[in-house]
Amino acid sequence: MRPSEYGLDPSYDTVWELARAVVATVPEAEREPGTLTREILKAFRDGGLPGYTVAEGGPDPVNLTVMREALMYGCSGLDAMFVLQATGGLLLAAGSDELRSEWLPRLASGEALAAMALTEPGAGSDLKAATTRVRADGGELVLDGLKSFISHAEVADVITVFAREESGYSLVAVPAGTPGLTVTPGPALIAPHDVATVTLDGVRLPATHRIGPPGSAFAQVLAALTVTRASVAGSAVGLAQAALDEAVRHCARREQFGRPLYKHGPVAGLLADSAADVESARLLAYRAAVLARDGAPGALDYASMAKLSASEAACRVVDRCVQAMGRFGLVAGSRIGDLYLLARPLRIYEGASEVLRLGVARALVAGSLGPEHVKAEE
């Protein structure tokens, strides 16, 4: 069903259809989970997807959400490429005139690729534990530290680095090839992301490479998460829908005890519960994206709730679908097997489910009992 059938403007049908069309240009063998390939990069660029990831003031969150739904449905590698470029565009759009003029046109054309370096060996969900540092030295910035599990860092032309600056935290745009910057391969993941370790050893850059005022990184990251978490929800919906469609096709064809699987009560229940999960998650994802687009109060809380709900739903759905397909759901390299592996990381990146639950609970208490109550209890 198209986005307009859920109350969105028909213009969003156009970008949803475009994303589906770009997926169709990727050879089927390249759509499976794995490393970034030339074919995926070519489809990403030639299909015009980069242009939807970059805009003055940031890309449209609804575009990102409905397009990620379509991309993840058919090609997880394209989905990963798309969101990483969008995150880079979101952060760099808040940079200096020099940064914007240098990077935004190149990101929008796909000539340049972006990455974001937040996590460290000792800092994942707890970003305040980050030890990477940036300091001002005359008209320059100097960065030192170690970042780990950084998606697509090996192919990125610019990496936005989160670092401690005096008593606060700042973001700095670091071009590939800058002296002192080293990128080495990280572990292989059960996710369509190639990750790397990023080492910063006395990296020197002009002060204009700091994004926003000193110490403003948390506000910028939270603003970006309002958009990207809603889009993760869209991605999770696309994955869940793909799993459900795969199971429905199998259960309509496969017969046991003289009738199709879907006519057996337990199997019908698996399919029906999955359909309800997918529809509910889609509605919440679209709602969160609209609130993020409109800059509504509470948009981050809705985005967190949507990401939590959709990622958990995707795991439930794909698990039910494997169960409904029986031994055929266990075949390595099968479509449903790939989706099973892809679903699990959704509950971790862009905010682990446990962290999101804490944030949503705090928002509930702040709304019902007042922010003073929350502060007093901390």
Of 99, 323, 76, 325, nearest in space to 211 by CA: 99
- Is residue 312 annotated as part of the catalytic site, yes or no? no
Other Cβ atoms less than 10 A from the Cβ of 1: the count is: 9
CA distance 143 to 200: 6
What interhelical angle do 61-74 and 217-253 show, nearest 10?
40
Distance CA 76, CA 159 (A): 22
Q: Which listed residue (39, 350, 372, 377) is catalytic? A: 350
Please name the amino acid found at residue 137: D
CB 183 within 8 A of CB 113: no
CB 368 within 8 A of CB 102: no
> Token digits for 322?
């494997």
Alpha helices, DSSP H only, in 60-196? 61-74, 76-92, 97-109
The three-state secondary structure class of 39 is: helix
Please give the backbone phi and psi of residue 162, each rounded to the nearest 5 degrees, phi first. Answer: -90, 125
Report the 10 Å Cβ neighbour count for 279.
Answer: 16
Helices (H) and strands (E) in the chain, counts: 11, 10
Q: Which residues are the active-site residues?
A: 350
